[in-house]
Chains A and B, each alone.
Chain A
Amino acid sequence: MARKLLLEHINVPGINTFDVYRSKGGYAAVEKALKTLTPDEVVEEVKKSGLRGRGGAGFPTGMKWSFLAKPEGVARYLVCNADESEPGTFKDRYLMTYLPHLLIEGMIVASFALGAKTSYIYVRGEMMPQIRILEKAIAEAKAKGFLGKNILGTGYDLELYVQPGGGAYICGEETALLESLEGKRGNPRIKPPFPAIAGLYGCPTVVNNVESIAAVVPIINEGGDEYAKLGIGRSTGTKLISAGGNLRKPGVYEIDLGLPVEEFLYSDEYCGGIANGKRLKAVVAGGSSVPILPANLFLKTINNEPRLMSYESLADGGFVSGTMMGSGGFIAYDEDQCIVRNTWNFARFYHHESCGQCSPCREGTGWMEKVLHRLEYGHGKMSDMDLLVDVSKKIEGNTICPLGDAAAWPVASAIRHFRDEFEWHVTNPSAAVSGNFGIAHYADPLPKLEEAAS
């Protein structure tokens, strides 16, 4: 059983209260950082740990912190992005529900490292219970002197606020989040300038995911070097995976990065295999916006090496035969799931959530959704697949924010890997409405590379 860093005390009754959390060694990182380290040393520890942003992009957190502009006399802000709304991802909500103090502790240490006197946790509006939990936890921490003026007598002041968002997916994009936090319409800003130069209210700002901030706590407690020993290669530490779909044991799991995919999927310690004794057809490895992969390509890379749960291994093969770690929203599909319907569902989501600011995404997402709807309900044409690929290419890379890419990738990858199933929907429209294509060859072992080439 691998060591847990974040979820170590998750099963302790009352861990969501300050006293129990404190008795389990909580807030030690705050004491250590504020009393024995300088802000630069904290940043250095995080850099050494190799922690990569857990929100999806995987950008090294320590690097992000060191890019923060530090002009004299200008306030700096830390904003925690708790607007988790990627379909298939629910790890941040889990963390905030059961371990609110872990997030607050991480916020204090991170704010100290960045020199922020005011920090915000931007929570998605639908997560009202979590907002209440966090506010209660903040009040507790404040009463014990871990927040507010002169924390632990070190002379460091920090105010922490929870801000409910309006519940838009786009507000998970960092600049749209900042706009929303400022009270404006949640449209992504045009970059540059990046938030590290001009973010919230035009001041230098760092926006981090909930899990990235929580991971700062074990990094400070144990040291960056210790943390970096976990994991594999440049994917260090542990990661929360929200496993969902047709699994026997769905839920939030903390894994060491580098765990073989097969072990994660089939071992009883984690997902326990596919529910109801069915077979695996496809996997979305990191939330709805990453490319979907058929079972055979997911378990083995194109070079027939076993795939690992790490940033590099999941991305092995690029967009042709790989996927991405994303935010860790792991969705498994069994043999009875329809990929066309799933792709349509994702496209419908992105159509609904596009902010409408830039034209390719505003118009293209709606177009893709309509074509996929037509395919799913048996009115499709053979030319629709090429049309979809072409539209997705015209969106990808041409938009202000990554939502355009996120909308384009699942559609393009589904057609790349599951073209047979899309064609079957066109050639057998009545069967496609009532039944489904089944697993076909998607779980067959991969052919040897030489054979495939010949």
Chain B
Amino acid sequence: MKVTIDGFPIEVEAGTTILNAARMIGGDIVPPAMCYYSKLEGTGGKCRTCLVQVTKGSEKDPRPMPKLVASCRTTVMDGMEVKNITSPEVIEARKGVVEMLLINHPLDCPVCDQAGECHLQDLGYEHGAAKTRYEFDRRTFEKIDIGDKIQLHMTRCILCYRCVFVADQITDHRIHGILNRGDHSEISTYIQKAVDNDFSGNVIDVCPVGALTDKTFRFKNRVWFTKPVEAHRECENPKCCGKVTLWYKGEDVIRVTARKDEYGEAEEFICNTCRFDKKKTSDWVIEGPRKVSHKSVISSNHYDTLHPLPVVKTNPVLIEANKEQFERETRL
């Protein structure tokens, strides 16, 4: 099936969603996704950040769709034409959605462990306004303790339901879920029970914001001061792949997470033993440094990005220009 997204044509299989087709093309035209998670069935459609405009329904029925559609849950049709960043309506709607997501968010990024790898932070930076128009008290919740491994900050939650799907699909039973309705709905456990399960730690990885964070990593460091390294071990748990990213601070492993792809999605899920208990280098077989996108703040301390490109090395004009730019930037 042929689908055109922002003018880029691509051939995809029937049943592919617009979002996944856009991810195959890649680049700036990929709609952001806060609630969709390709490894979890049934996610998506809730956060509305991935709204796109379908200007031509299909070859057979060329009528445009009347409303903006959630690209993560709309499957492509042959000959479909989609507008994402080329449509002012989409940009406007996305700005609205980001504003809605932020009005009740505490914006406590300076003390949030997720800062630096938070999707809402990226989204706010890209689409949000510098000032809020919301002049009321932000929503707060009563604190609840969901165990010694996972920290829940309900005020930061954007209700993407990803952690609910993890508990349904990755762990063997779910004891947490959404309570209440509307803007006072909250993630909570079954009568204050601790979330305790071999794979429960994956809720930390899937959480797009800082609502579910690792208690063993809490306030230890900012992510952009740590060095991600890929490693693996023979995990005793048959369901666990044992492939992880270790986050080093100096000599110490201060955090273990699943390996995440460019959209922040875990490639494979890992068990709690790997995540919380194996924090010595000797536990792991090191594979090498983890590639982090140069756009991510985490890469800011990875000095290899400052190496001049090969072409610069041989071209005297570029060497001069590069030097000038380096001086200008270091002055700032």
Q: Is A382 an interface residue (CB 8 A)?
A: no
Q: Is A303 an interface residue (CB 8 A)?
A: no
Q: For residue A359, which residues in chain B have a CB less than 8 angstroms away from its CB? A: 46-49, 97, 100-101, 158-159
Q: Provide the A162-177 mask, 1 if CB < 8 A to any CB of B, else 0.
A: 0000001010000000
B136 → A minimal CB distance (Å)? 5
Interface residues of A in 234-270 (CB under 8 A from B): none
Q: Is B104 an interface residue (CB 8 A)?
A: yes
The interface stretch among A86-94, A195-203, A362-370 is A362-370
Residue ID in chain A nearest B103 by CB atoms: A363
Interface residue from A354, A387, A393, A398 paired with B183 (Cβ < 8 Å): A354
Q: Is A351 an interface residue (CB 8 A)?
A: yes
The interface stretch among B65-73, B192-200, B229-237 is B65-73
A397 → B minimal CB distance (Å)? 5
Contact A397–B47 (Cβ < 8 Å): no
Specify which of A356, A395, A399 lies most central, judged by the most chain B CB atoms within 10 Å of its CB. Answer: A356
A-B contact count (CB 8 A): 88
Contact B181–A168 (Cβ < 8 Å): yes
Given the known A-B contacts A357-B46, A359-B97, A360-B97, are A185 and B178 also in contact in the complex, defined by CB atoms under 8 Å? yes
Q: Is B79 an interface residue (CB 8 A)?
A: no
Contact A356–B178 (Cβ < 8 Å): yes
Q: Is A352 an interface residue (CB 8 A)?
A: yes
Interface residue from A351, A363, A397 paired with B101 (Cβ < 8 Å): A363
Interface residues of A in 154-191 (CB under 8 A from B): 168, 170, 185, 190
B178 → A minimal CB distance (Å)? 7
Q: For residue A398, which residues in chain B have a CB less than 8 angstroms away from its CB? A: 48, 51, 67-68, 93, 96-97
Contact B96–A394 (Cβ < 8 Å): yes
Q: Provide the B164-182 mask, 1 if CB < 8 A to any CB of A, else 0.
A: 0000000000000010111
Complex Cα distance A419/B68, Å? 29
Q: Is A358 an interface residue (CB 8 A)?
A: yes
A125 → B minimal CB distance (Å)? 14
Complex Cα distance A58/B89, Å? 28
Contact A360–B100 (Cβ < 8 Å): yes
Interface residues of A in 333-363 (CB under 8 A from B): 351-360, 362-363
Contact A399–B48 (Cβ < 8 Å): yes
A to B CB contacts below 8 Å, 26 in the list? A190-B44, A190-B45, A352-B182, A353-B182, A355-B182, A356-B183, A358-B46, A358-B48, A359-B46, A359-B49, A359-B97, A359-B101, A359-B159, A360-B96, A360-B97, A362-B182, A363-B101, A363-B103, A366-B183, A367-B100, A367-B103, A394-B97, A395-B96, A398-B68, A398-B96, A400-B70
Which residues of A line the B interface, CB within 8 A? 168, 170, 185, 190, 351-360, 362-367, 370, 387, 393-395, 397-400
Closest 6 CB pairs of A and B: A394-B96, A190-B45, A356-B185, A363-B100, A354-B182, A366-B183
Beyond known contacts A354-B181, A356-B181, A398-B97: 8 more, CB 8 A cutoff: A190-B70, A354-B183, A359-B49, A360-B100, A365-B183, A394-B100, A398-B48, A398-B67
